[in-house]
Amino acid sequence: MLNIKPSLSGLSILVIEDDMASLNKIESGLKKYGAQVYSTSTVEKASDILSREHIHVILVSLPLADEKCLDIIKNYKSKHPDALFYLLAEQNYCLVEPVEESVRQILDDCLQKPLDIERFVRIAAASFGRPPTSKSLSVIEPLSARTKPYFIFRSYPMRMALSHLPQIAASDRTVLISGETGTGKELVARAIHMLSSRSNGPFVPINCGAIPESLIESELFGHEKGAFTGALHNRKGKFETAHNGILFLDEIGDMPLILQIRLLRVLEDGEIYRVGGDKRIPVNVRVITATHMDLENAVRNGLFREDLYYRLNVLRMHLPPLRERIDDIPILALHFLERAFDEMGRAKPYPAFSPETIYLLQQYPWRGNVRELRNVMTRVATLLPSDIKHVFPMHIVSHLGETKITDRGIDTPQTSSGIFIQQGTTLERAEDLLIKDALKQTGGNRTKAAKLLGISLRTIRRKLNK
């Protein structure tokens, strides 16, 4: 396959950065892709360049993005609306202060330092219509189109996991669905039901791990009046309720051993006995089970019956975790975000994800899988300002729990090691060191840095502008 290298030939880029090592690295890196690069460490010189040159892309280090700098860029973009403006932030991505509406209106994206040159080049090239363009978020695979009412995906692992779904649905055998919590096991079970010959029958789900051991037998098989204290009436169980349909036993690995024996007998004989009853009740039920556990290991440890395991494991489906299907993350996130906007009654057009936001979402581990992604997008949609046109990393990071993003990837937070202030350092120099360290810890967020230092936002701005 031909690998087309993106080109920035003909594009002029202005880099405003006070870290000379970073400035030199960015300048030399962008020049390799054919860009005309202008670089400066001062806002005054940047203003002079913008007054003389036609700049396509403006990169600004967050500490230099003061009110004067932003006013200059805003004025330039009013004359050149196609120009792109990016902020460069130390660590943890860019947490631009939400009150700075002027930033949101002119910002195109937030980028993490040190700048990933190759990724930035792809972003800039795509923005100006240069090859190679990024893959569309639309669903294009034939299997994806067939299962779109139930699933949204385009990744290879998910295509493989669902490749036999139509055949499995057409069968009437038991199905065992495995996968981590939040990967969509119940959704697969419901899809099998809707695509099967039992679609007109009931779909009855029950979570075996959510019901007390003393009650689960009655929940599954029902009970007769007087079978135990509180049994005032005859009651049908889930098997009878699911007659001519599908019974979905979620977290089957949590089922007590004594009930595993009864379940095996029901699967073999096709009939049940209610608790406290002696009448055989025929049931025509297809059983689909799901688990996040390693049932083979549970069998070896005597926690799950081997004969029941093989009786359930006739047709097997395994759903990969979201971290192994990163190609699906952007389209799933967009789906959940737009669904939340729709439920809120927000008017279209909806905000779009910036390229760096998509990269952030794809780097996050998503331990709660698709369920966690859905919940995060719901929170983002609920709290996103109404005037936002793009969803930036700053709108996402605060909803990702205790995980932080660094230049090495995504890590759990580490205790700050602090800074060393040498004896004899002037008070003014010590203040500068403390402010820079606070900004580093907060990813460039001045509001959080001010709170960390116990000073006002106005004070930290004044000291940074000195």
Given the DSSP bridges, would you call strands 390-391 and 203-207 parallel, antiparallel or unpaired? Answer: unpaired
**Start-end of H helices in 174-223:** 185-195, 213-221
pLDDT at 425 over 90: no
CATH number of the structural domain 427-465: 1.10.10
Determine the pLDDT at residue 134. Answer: 42
Residue % of the chain over a pLDDT of 70: 85
pLDDT tens digits for range 303-360 = 999 999 999 999 999 999 999 999 999 999 999 999 999 999 999 999 999 999 999 9
Segment 139-153 mean pLDDT? 63
Following CA atoms 263, 221, 292, 315 in sequence, which dihedral angle do they give, to the nearest 10 degrees?
A: 50
CATH pick for 326-411 out of 1.10.8.60, 1.10.300.10, 2.60.120.260, 3.10.129.10: 1.10.8.60
The confidence band for 212, taking pLDDT boundaries of 50, 70 and 90, is confident
Are 204 and 248 in contact, with CB atoms under 8 Å apart? yes
**74: confidence class by pLDDT, cuts 50, 70, 90:** very high
Reported as a single tens digit per residue, the pLDDT across 269-284 is: 999 999 888 899 999 9
**Percent of the chain whose predicted confidence (pLDDT) is above 90:** 60
Look at residue 146 and tell me whether its pLDDT is greater than 80: no
pLDDT at 138: 47
The yes-or-no answer to whether 12-127 and 156-322 have a common fold is yes
Structure tokens at 168: 């499995």
Tokens standing for residue 65: 């993005």
The answer to whether the pTM exceeds 0.85 is: no
- Domain 12-127 indexed as CATH 3.40.1260.10: no
pLDDT at 226: 83
Q: Please compute, for residue 334, the number of CA atoms within 13 A of its CA located in the half-sphere on the CB side.
A: 21
Tell me: pLDDT of 191 over 60. Answer: yes
Domain boundaries, the chain: 12-127, 156-322, 326-411, 427-465
Min mean pLDDT across 133-142, 320-329, 443-452 is at 133-142
pLDDT of residue 1 exceeding 50: no
Any residues with CB less than 8 A from the CB of 270 and at least 6 apart, and which?
282, 283, 284
Given this model, what pLDDT does residue 409 score?
Answer: 47
Of the pLDDT bands very low, low, confident and very high (cuts 50, 70, 90), residue 140 is very low
Instruction: For the chain, give the mean pLDDT.
Output: 86
3-state secondary structure of 243: coil
Q: How would DSSP label each residue in 24-66?
A: HHHHHHHHTTT-EEEEESSHHHHHHHHHHS--SEEEEEGGG--
Report, as an integer, the average pLDDT of 222-249.
91
**Would you state the pLDDT for residue 306?**
97
Q: Tens of pLDDT along 35-49?
A: 999 999 999 999 999
- Top pLDDT among 137 and 283 is at 283
Q: Which two tokens stand for residue 466?
A: 């000195």
- Please, are residues 106 and 74 in contact by the beta-carbon 8 Å criterion? yes
Q: What are the φ and ψ backbone dihedral angles of 31, each rounded to 5 degrees?
A: -65, -30
3-state helix, strand, coil in the chain (%, to 5): 45, 15, 40
Q: Please tell me the class of the 156-322 domain.
A: alpha beta
Across the range 261-271, mean pLDDT stands at 95
Whole-number pLDDT of residue 420: 58
The pLDDT assigned to 423 comes to 60
The pLDDT of residue 406: 46
Residue 402, pLDDT score: 55
Residues in the chain: 466
The residues, ordered by sequence, that sit 6+ positions from 3 with a Cβ below 8 Å of its Cβ are none
